[in-house]
Amino acid sequence: MRFEVEKKDGNARAGILETSRSKIETPAYMPCATIGAVKGVRWSELEELDFRIVLMNSLHLYLRPGADVVRELGQIHAFSTWRRSILTDSGGYQFFSLKGLYDIDDEGVSFQSPYDGSRHRFTPESVVELQIGLGSDIIMPLDHCAPGDASRDVVVEAGERTLNWLFKAASRYRDSVRDSQALFGIIQGGTHIDLRQEYVNKSAELNLDGYALGGISVGEDRDEGDQIVHEITPLMPHDKPRYLMGVGLPGQILDGIESGIDLFDCVLPTRMARNGTLFTSRGRLNLRNSRFISEHEPLDIECSCATCRKYSRAYLSHLHKVGEPGVLGLLSLHNLAYYRKLVSEARMAIKDKNFTSWKKETIGRWGEGV
């Protein structure tokens, strides 16, 4: 994997990330294909939007269809047919959200499958092996994500464990990985600047291919989370891609870019689309509002996605109301196009040394209403 920062504007960076499978212009947003597909969306539609990388989830794929199945079918690209880059998350965050179904200790996590009750164990080493077997382009290590309202003691325990596990993961990775796969580090530490700083510095010693901020938007005070991103991102290694995990709404993406984040993933654009909430250049639109049933215009007059090129708000609103399953994909496609355009315009603004005023103007237009 290669990464180069082409241009900076303040802390914001325009770069190029290159895996053996695709060249990714950063800042980039990665659509969530958690279970091996972006819900309701065709791969060809993601290609048309020029996405070069998506996220999948190791834990989900481990449980269903199983790592052996994926490996025997030629690994994750052949299995899913997505030939561009894939980052696989480790499942650490999913354990955090499956309260009670797992037991965590210093060596790993024991858990029960919610599908058949079978018992399993993940260790920092086994999770690297799992992702080597899946064949993803970027491997994320097993981490321990403390809840947003955890005490400092709990945050320290989770953060130290995440750091220890990262050293174990890196060691296993160096023993066995092929050149084509990269390993990123994950930094925990909650909303404690000093802990975050410490973990950034210690994990940087490993000289990994990239570094991620985990444990943001996990229930902490929104301002405190924003503050961490704002203060910690500039301290992360400058010559490596920086990834803000699981964040966020368009405003958070722009804040992250401003602080120097290069990669984002978030289920919100697709999940909210399925629920009828669409992002537009003039703010959010709730398709369940009855006024849309008689509106000729597209979701966003300034959007050139396949959904906006073809369909009226009226037709989409009708299909959503009657529960037609295909519309979930059409709406997701639009929100993904919105995110794609947002980061692409941000990149241009950075290259033009114009990021701050572009950001202000963009956010200002969200208040104009749809």
Nearest CB to a second copy, comparing residues 282 and 321: 321
265 is catalytic: yes
Of residues 202, 271, 318, 351, which one binds a second copy by CB under 8 A? 318
Of residues 4, 10, 69, 356, which one binds a second copy by CB under 8 A? 69
Please calculate the CA angle 334-339-340 and round it to the nearest 5 degrees: 90
Tokens of 119: 């018992």
Q: How far apart are CA 218 and CA 215, in angstroms?
A: 6
Does position 98 interact with a second copy (CB under 8 A)? The reply is no
Q: How far apart are CA 349 and CA 347, in angstroms?
A: 5
Cα dihedral sign for 49, 53, 58, 63? positive
For residue 213, give the 3-state DSSP assignment: strand
Nearest CB to a second copy, comparing residues 116 and 223: 116
Cβ atoms within 10 Å, residue 61: 26
Does position 174 interact with a second copy (CB under 8 A)? The reply is no
Of residues 153, 223, 322, 367, which one binds a second copy by CB under 8 A? 322
Residues 311, 330 contacting (CB under 8 angstroms) = yes
Of residues 3, 211, 264, 311, which one binds a second copy by CB under 8 A? 311
Nearest CB to a second copy, comparing residues 40 and 210: 40
Residues 145, 158 contacting (CB under 8 angstroms) = yes
Q: How far apart are CA 152 and CA 191, in angstroms?
A: 9
Nearest CB to a second copy, comparing residues 37 and 98: 37
Site map (CB under 8 A) of a second copy, residues 263-302, x = contact: -----------x------------------xx-x------
Within the chain, strands assigned E span 2-9, 12-18, 23-26, 28-30, 53-57, 85-89, 102-105, 108-112, 119-122, 138-139, 182-187, 210-213, 242-244, 263-265, 277-280, 283-286
Of residues 6, 47, 48, 72, which one binds a second copy by CB under 8 A? 72
**With CB under 8 A as the contact rule, which of the stretches 21-29, 75-83, 160-168, 240-248 interacts with a second copy?**
75-83
106 is catalytic: no
Active-site pick, 9, 89, 262, 300? 89
User: In the bound complex, what is the minimum distance in angstroms from residue 15's beta carbon to a second copy?
Assistant: 32
Region 149-168 residues binding a second copy, contact defined as CB under 8 A: none
Q: How far apart are CA 177 and CA 131, in angstroms?
A: 10
Per-position DSSP letters for 62-97, written without gaps between them: HHTT-HHHHHHTTHHHHHH---SEEEEE-SHHHHHH
**With CB under 8 A as the contact rule, which of the stretches 147-155, 206-214, 231-239, 324-332 interacts with a second copy?**
324-332
Nearest CB to a second copy, comparing residues 152 and 321: 321
Nearest CB to a second copy, comparing residues 185 and 269: 269
Task: List the helix and strand counts (H, then E) for the chain.
Answer: 15, 16
Region 24-43 residues binding a second copy, contact defined as CB under 8 A: 35-43
Residues 242, 211 contacting (CB under 8 angstroms) = yes
**With CB under 8 A as the contact rule, which of the stretches 47-55, 79-87, 171-179, 247-255 interacts with a second copy?**
79-87
Task: Please give the residue ranges that form the binding site for a second copy (CB under 8 A).
Answer: 35-43, 64-65, 69, 72-73, 79-81, 274, 293-294, 296, 310-312, 314-315, 317-319, 321-322, 324-330
Q: Which positions are annotated as active-site residues?
A: 89, 265
